[in-house]
Amino acid sequence: MTKVTAGQSVGIDDNPRKIGESFDEITAVGTNEREGLLANYHEAVQQFATGVTERESKTLIILALRSGLTSCLRFKERNRFMDFADCPGYRLWRFPSFPLLSLTVVLGLLFPFALWAQSSDSDSGSSSTFSGAAQIPSGQFPGQVQTSAQNPIFGSVPDAKPTPGVLQLTFGEAIERALRQNLAGLLSEYNTIEARGEKWKQLSDLLPNVNADVQEVRQKVSLQALGFNSSLFPGAKLPAVLGPFSYFDARASASQRLFDWKSIQKYRSSVIGENIAQYNLKDARDLVVLATGNTYLQAIAAAARVETAQAQVATAQALYKKATVQQQAGVAPAIDTLRAQVEYQTRQQQWIAATNDFAKQKISLARVVGLNPRQEFELASKTPYEAFPVPDLETSVQRAYSYRSDYKAAHDRLVAAQLERSSATAGYFPTLDLAANWGEIGAEPGDVLPTYAVFGTLNIPIFQGGKVHSDVLKAEASLRQAQAQMADVRAQIDQDVRNALLDLKSASDQVEVAQSSVNLAEQALTQSQDRFSAGVTDNLEVVQAQEAVATAHENLISSLYLHNLAKVSFARALGRAEEGVLEYLKGK
């Protein structure tokens, strides 16, 4: 007896044409072996099929095989001199579309049951452990636009008032506006100011502190409260209160920390921190260029789709009018007119959707570059196709290591972490301070004498309750994190450059193929229209040619967008987006 494998059982469902072959295998054996073979099929289905729908559908197909087999055996008994292939049930199973049609009917009958089973499973799962349920990302909802709350690069500080008239916004002007007004760039710029303030704060611990004060004092002192009484001085009569008396003091004081290794290392780290903030600002500006370029190119592609959709609407309308005239003249059937009308309305719907998408892309672009929401503008740059030679991989990677601001920031972040660890270890070291004051003091401003004082203090830490040890542990952890981030950024740069070069090559090839496809599709449309006008064929051929033209134009628009975006992404991968994006778009 033949043993059915998992692949055979799955093949019953995955490739319905094999059902006829299974029918041949079953009819070629005896009655006992036949039932065993069907049982093996059923066992394999139950073992390897996944999900309620797959298991039940394959089981029903096996039952249908058994039913068809029984009818064919009876046919064979009544017609002994006829071949098995003459059985009607056999012919149905061998007909190419019948297994697929049977499978479709079975799945249609099982769909409500499978839907109920899945909903029951999901309800039980959510009631037992809600925390483990998968959450739908907010960005996956259709039509939802990313906001500055999700990423500041999609926000900006818009102009207070719109400029009169319609603004002609070029690609370069959009980049310049975004660099001035995009929220991500502004926040990074403010972070550099904060880092500069932190540097001055750490420096203040190393610089002298000089103060001056002038005071006029009049007071009365209780000697008893200070402990001066007759028991301390037997026989002496002490007054209970001394005064009132007054004095005048004008004094300047200065203090200087002569040695504090912890403060020195903290200051050095803050200097590196300011450099990191500057690199982060440069990296943020590159990202702003990338986001602005992508949004502008998306708007250009949307505008091209609107123009293409308008042309396709005009073509479909002309075909519809021609089909109507031919029907009225009695030379074309009504189905041609109906088919042309459906095609015409389909193109209208696509044009409406493309127009709406273009308007939304313009809103997104205005939001990124900081235009006033009421500002009317048009896209002045069309960015036609410009060939771009694909650079060498190793040269590009080395250039990226030397240009990328995030790589420089990661390197300085590692240096700052090393200084922070040294600063934490310096908590065990002694410190040396110097303080001095000089002034004039007397009973009144006209009767004063000069005085001064100088203090030197050596502070030796002995036990600080484990505070220094905790600082060292935290600094060591930060250092290891910086080392890991440094390695990750280096690998990320390599990945970005490789991906950008692959996208450049692929997009360039796609543009060439798409341009050729557009020419061929338009030629085919012209020929099909001529054939339809001559009465050689119906308009089905024309409708199919229109679909091919629409697909070819969409592929060309998408490939041009991807090619230009690949140039912008390559400039970002090298770390020269702000300087080189306009050059790369020109093919240089």
pLDDT at site 264: 93
Q: Which residues pair with 584 in a beta bridge?
A: none
DSSP-derived 3-state class of residue 287: helix
B/e letters for 129-167, b = 16+ CB within 10 Å, e = fewer, are: eeeeeeeeeeeeeeeeeeebeeebbbbbebbeeeeeeeb
- Pairing mode, if any, of strands 377-379 and 167-169? parallel
CB 64 within 8 A of CB 98: no
Task: For helices 261-329 and 467-533, give the axis angle rounded to 10 degrees.
Answer: 20
Alpha carbons within 13 A on the beta-carbon side of 70:
7
pLDDT at site 72: 54
Q: How far apart are CA 497 and CA 508, in angstroms?
A: 17
The distance from CA 193 to its chain's CA centroid, rounded to whole angstroms, is 28
Q: Give a yes or no: residue 384 inside a domain.
A: no
Q: Give a yes or no: residue 93 inside a domain.
A: yes
The distance from CA 586 to its chain's CA centroid, rounded to whole angstroms, is 27
Q: Which residues contact 423 (CB under 8 A, 6 or more apart)?
A: 261, 262, 265, 266, 269, 475
Could you tell me which of 38, 321, 365, 47 has the C-alpha nearest to residue 175? Answer: 365
DSSP-derived 3-state class of residue 505: helix
Helix (H) or strand (E) holding 84: none
Sign of CA dihedral 393, 397, 402, 403: positive
> Cis link prior to 244 (omega < 30° from 0)?
yes
Sign of CA dihedral 283, 288, 293, 294: positive
Dihedral angle computed from the Cα positions of residues 197, 203, 205 and 211, in that order, rounded to the nearest 10 degrees: -80
Number of C-beta neighbours around residue 404 at 10 A:
26
pLDDT by residue (tens digit) across 337-357?
898 899 899 999 999 999 999
Q: How far apart are CA 171 and CA 297, in angstroms?
A: 9
Number of C-beta neighbours around residue 184 at 10 A:
22
Alpha carbons within 13 A on the beta-carbon side of 418:
8
Q: Give a yes or no: residue 104 inside a domain.
A: yes
pLDDT at site 391: 86
CB 373 within 8 A of CB 158: yes
DSSP-derived 3-state class of residue 83: coil
Q: Which residues contact 106 (CB under 8 A, 6 or more apart)?
A: 57, 60, 61
Domain that holds residue 50: 6-117
Q: How far apart are CA 158 and CA 370, in angstroms?
A: 4
pLDDT at site 151: 85
Query: Exposed, middle or buried by CB within 10 Å (0-12, 13-18, 19+), for 65?
Result: buried
Q: How far apart are CA 479 and CA 140, in angstroms?
A: 37
Query: Exposed, middle or buried by CB within 10 Å (0-12, 13-18, 19+), for 42?
Result: middle
Question: CA 378 → CA 58, 86, 168, 174, 290, distances in Å?
Answer: 58, 72, 5, 11, 20
Q: How far apart are CA 181 and CA 184, in angstroms?
A: 9
Average pLDDT over the chain, rounded to whole? 78
* Phi, psi dihedrals of residue 391, rounded to the nearest 5°: -70, 170
pLDDT at site 87: 54
How many domains are contained in the chain? 1
Q: Kindly write down the DSSP assignment for every residue of 383-440, as one continuous string.
A: ------PPPPHHHHHHHHHHH-HHHHHHHHHHHHHHHHHHHHHGGGS-EEEEEEEEEE
Q: Give a yes or no: residue 304 inside a domain.
A: no
Q: How far apart are CA 563 and CA 557, in angstroms?
A: 10
What residues in the chain have per-residue pLDDT under 50?
1-21, 23, 26, 37, 41-61, 63-65, 75-76, 80-82, 84-85, 88-143, 587-588
Q: Give a yes or no: residue 76 inside a domain.
A: yes
Could you tell me which of 277, 226, 262, 213 has the C-alpha nearest to residue 441? Answer: 213
Residue that the structure tokens 């370029």 belong to: 293
Q: Which residues contact 285 (CB under 8 A, 6 or more apart)?
A: 179, 185, 188, 577, 578
Q: Give a yes or no: residue 352 inside a domain.
A: no
Q: Is this model's pTM higher than 0.85 or not?
A: no
pLDDT by residue (tens digit) across 176-201?
999 999 999 999 999 999 999 999 99
The two three-digit tokens of residue 452, written as one number: 């001064």
CB 485 within 8 A of CB 427: no
